[in-house]
Amino acid sequence: MAPAAREFAERVAGTPLHTPHTPVIGNVGAAALTTADAIRTELVAQLTSPVRWTESVQHMIADGANRFVEFGPGTVLAGLVKRIDANVEVLNVAKPEDI
């Protein structure tokens, strides 16, 4: 992915982003991203960095998240979240009528 990182960074830099109303938890730093610039930096870094999924989910739980929703036809991420903390609620929305 490293060869694509430069062009991707240019595209991300040219994409309008706004300050999020709710912090975004990045998978590179496993921390809250609260500015558009931080999100841009994280998006580019995640092309070539390991995903810190467990730490990201633990961060959200520590911040008070107790319900996670996986959108899409599978339940892989839901299963991973339940392995991290069996006490959280995990929902799956596979198709629009599931909402």
pLDDT, tens digit, 9 for 90 and up, residues 10-20: 999 999 999 99
Q: Is residue 23 part of a domain?
A: yes
Share of the chain above pLDDT 90, in %: 84
Asked if the model's pLDDT at residue 36 lies above 90, the reply is yes
Asked if the model's pLDDT at residue 49 lies above 90, the reply is yes
The overall average pLDDT reported for the chain is 93
Q: Is residue 59 part of a domain?
A: no
pLDDT in tens, 60-79: 999 999 999 999 988 999 99
46 and 74 belong to one structural domain: no
Q: CA-CA distances (angstroms) from residue 71 to 56, 86, 97?
A: 18, 19, 12
The range of the structural domain enclosing residue 86 comes to 66-99
Phi, psi of 51 (to 5 degrees): -85, 130
